Chains A and B, each alone.
Chain A
């Protein structure tokens, strides 16, 4: 059974539990909803907004918030500072961590509910496991950044997470704040296949931020595969990527 909703976390979320019930799927959506309530920087009453307004002392953060802050700091170190939850105005925006983290936790919930074949997609970041309802391996298409109705590659993640960072609208209007005057028009999309969706998502974000060097960074990390598309429509892939393609 597969359900898609578009009213949580500002993005479409699809949950498929093979042999699943609607109540099980609802339980997964309930989890995403709870994450949205706590971490959304759009909801004024969210815990993260209260923290950003200085209304909650650090020792009073929820366990989930503490975990996400710790994961953000760890990712910042692992990506040479390319990933940061701290915005230029000093406030904290945990979105870059929360999405992948929430999908991974939702997958664990599905397993706790007894499902071993599932597919969870939040805004194009996907964790699948086991086989689909026809007993075939899940397959994931990589969206064409120049045409959202097309896919340009098909991968078989075999239980791993698949995440893409980039934009098709922003395209060539990207600027590097540290080298004013230089337009960065090299990379439009970076897809990462990693051990799980949390790992894939945070490394996709960091690799995309690195520009054309991102794929080199990915190539050096064991257990990750990457597919990076530049503004001219040329893709560069890590050594491990071809093994993942269908």
Chain B
């Protein structure tokens, strides 16, 4: 149960960072209180993740975003429609540059509907899993296990996986600038 909370929290933090990036590029109200639904295609053999930003909704800020685990496939790229609107962005689908996160590539595609940012798809995401040729036919040795627990000790440094946030912002910024200038 604790892990579910933590997962929700981390998804919320991630969603908040998306909101932050969007807020850098729009003056539209929905950005300040984005409702974010993560559609995670749990059975799709693909790395694509779909994040849908619903414009206009204003949920209670303290509510964690709902996680909708479904088999909804990622949205398809629609060739760029060029309908002129009054908003900051033109409707259509824009693919951001592939941004190098040093340990992999991050690339996003944004969808603009009704002149508002409607979706963010991950086209590329770092994947350490190169092959799966390793066949586990070894006997499982007895290794010690434990539930992880937060430590309060002060340390010289912290070892952890590198984050993709910088590359994500870069690709998203590029996609949004295309939506603006076309």
Contacts and interface: CB of A to CB of B under 8 A. Distances in A.
A30 interface: no
B102 A9 contact: yes
Nearest to B49: A173
A151 B100 CA distance: 27
Nearest to B101: A10
A141 B146 contact: no
A213 to B, nearest CB: 5
Contacts of B127: 174-175, 177
A168 B161 contact: yes
The main secondary structure of chain B at its interface with chain A is loop
B162 A213 contact: no
Interface in B39-59: 40, 42-47, 49
Contacts, number: 213
Given A41-B100, A140-B157, A146-B10, A124 B141 contact: no
A15 to B, nearest CB: 11
Interface in A137-161: 138-148, 150-154
B126 interface: yes
Interface residues of B, number: 57
A205 B138 CA distance: 21
Nearest to B168: A169
A176 B129 contact: yes
A23 interface: no
Given A96-B103, A146-B3, A171-B7, A151 B158 contact: yes
Contacts of B2: 233
Nearest to A125: B159
Contact of B136 (A153, A213, A236): A213
A10 B167 CA distance: 8
B158 A170 contact: no
Of all A-B residue pairs in the complex, the 8 with the closest CB atoms, nearest first, are A143-B160, A180-B45, A42-B100, A178-B132, A141-B155, A146-B6, A152-B148, A123-B162
11 contacts: A82-B130, A82-B133, A95-B104, A128-B157, A143-B158, A152-B149, A153-B151, A166-B160, A172-B7, A183-B42, A237-B143
